[in-house]
Amino acid sequence: MSNQYIPRAEDKFTFGLWTVGNIGRDPFGDPVRGVVTPVEIVHMLAEVGAWGVNFHDNDLVPIDATAAERDRIVRDFRKAMDDTGIVVPMATTNLFTHPVFRDGAFTSSDPEVRAYALQKTMAAIDLGVELGAETYVFWGGREGTETDVGKCAVDSGRHFRYAINYLCDYVIDQGYNLRFALEPKPNEPRGDIYLPTVGSMLGFIATLDHPEMVGVNPEMAHEQMAGLNFMHAIAQAWEADKLFHIDLNDQNMDRYDQDFRFGSHSIKQAFNVVHFLESVGYDNPRHFDAHAYRSSDLDDVKEFARGCMRTYLILKDKSRQFAADSEIQALIAECTADDGSMSMWLEGGYDPGRNNELRRHLFDRDALGARGKPYERLDQLLIDLLLGVR
Ligand code: GCO
Ligand code: MN
Ligand code: MN
């Protein structure tokens, strides 16, 4: 195995306690793997070469733990972090497992549940910050509906906005160094989840009291479940300065929430994602929000984790090769060639004088329409490169 595919701290590869700790329960079958404790997971992550670990409050501290139990758990966890060098860059709240959240948390139609969700999240924020988290993720798994007859979607949006504004103020009030990252998903576990895509989250963020504190945590499989192009979604988030975090995994489009190992299914899309992140210099955590196949035993879970990181690093290497390939780059230059002749209209915005000229200019529409683009050739060069024959 080549050294160049060994993960390093600067890759900022992270896994959630819930990912490598997944016990393989699904709606049709019981768990197939035993519980691995948070401390054991930290050691396992160190063994496979990850940089960090993320958690939901209750992945670490059971929902019914006493204050003393909480403190003991945190102490043991911190010792495992210190012993291994594993850090906690992100934390989040479980607002979906307990029956209290059966009709949502921040968007529940029960005001008492909404207030409880705020209380639970503030305690979880305290826990995350105590262990070093600088990003706090909000994934609204239960914030949705199966039927829309009982709930007003506008009210639900207002409730969600109220909660995020409230929690931003809490973070400011505490003086925490913490940013929020909202994670959209179209469905599962609800029939439909509010704010289902990266685009809808970005629109929502602009309506908040502290939009500068809030970005997105796009997940590859979530956009794919909606049939969307994940690279386009992260590009929009990046350009808006909102790509605070990323969940990498994989998924066969239009299926159930598969959470496959990164790069295991849509290898070309995975390349596009890595190539984008590496080209723009993305420097926030790279989180693998996936889990091993239900057929895996614990050794195979480690192979799953190693595989996520290895595939990322192989694709990073392919990205370098792509950027250095003169034939590929010449074709891209040909596709995007600009002789500057249109810059008087395409740069500098609207100007009445220049605009009069644009209105009068004669375009040879047929000649323009006859210009082809060598995308077939370019795409095949990428395929050759990815398949290792280039
Ligand atoms: C899912 C989600 C979750 C979230 C996690 C952190 O589909 O279950 O992706 O794994 O990422 O709850 O917020
Ligand atoms: Mn997911
Ligand atoms: Mn996720």
Ligand nearest to the CA of 138: 1
Helices (DSSP H) in 206-351: which residue ranges?
Answer: 220-225, 230-239, 267-280, 298-324, 326-335, 343-346
Rounded Cα distance, 34 and 377, in Å? 50
The yes-or-no answer on residue 254 being catalytic is no
Distance 204 CA to ligand 1 centre (A): 19
Q: Which of 11, 30, 43, 56 is catalytic?
A: 56
Rounded Cα distance, 128 and 123, in Å? 9
φ, ψ (nearest 5 deg) of residue 29: -145, 155
Residue nearest to atom 2 of ligand 1 (CA): 139
Q: Is 57 in the pocket of ligand 1 (CB under 6 A)?
A: no
- Cβ-Cβ contacts under 8 Å for 121 (sequence gap 6 or more): 93, 95, 163, 167
Distance 355 CA to ligand 1 centre (A): 49
Q: Which atom of ligand 1 is nearest to the CA of 18?
A: 10
According to the 3-state scheme, what is the secondary structure of 69-100?
A: HHHHHHHHHHHHHHHHCCECCEEECCCCCCHH
The yes-or-no answer on residue 56 being catalytic is yes
Site to substitute for ligand 1 among 125, 182, 185, 256, most atoms within 8 A of C-beta: 185
pLDDT in tens, 315-333: 999 999 999 999 999 999 9
Q: Which of 57, 59, 247, 289 is catalytic?
A: 59
- Cβ-Cβ contacts under 8 Å for 41 (sequence gap 6 or more): 17, 20, 21, 53
> What is the pLDDT at residue 340?
97
> What is the pLDDT at residue 254?
81
Residue nearest to atom 5 of ligand 1 (CA): 139
Q: Is 289 in the pocket of ligand 1 (CB under 6 A)?
A: yes
Distance 303 CA to ligand 3 centre (A): 20
Angle CA 229–231–237, to nearest 5: 110
> What is the pLDDT at residue 2?
60
Q: Which atom of ligand 1 is nearest to the CA of 19?
A: 10
Distance 183 CA to ligand 2 centre (A): 9
Ligand nearest to the CA of 224: 2
- Cβ-Cβ contacts under 8 Å for 13 (sequence gap 6 or more): 7, 49, 50, 51, 52, 285, 286, 288, 308, 309, 312
**Average pLDDT along the chain, 390 residues, taken 10 residues at a time:** 86 98 96 98 98 98 98 98 98 98 98 98 98 98 97 98 99 98 98 98 98 98 97 98 98 93 98 98 98 98 98 98 98 97 97 98 98 97 97
Region of 238 (left: φ > 0; alpha: ψ -120 to 50; beta: rest) is alpha
Q: Is 14 in the pocket of ligand 1 (CB under 6 A)?
A: no
Q: Is 59 in the pocket of ligand 1 (CB under 6 A)?
A: no
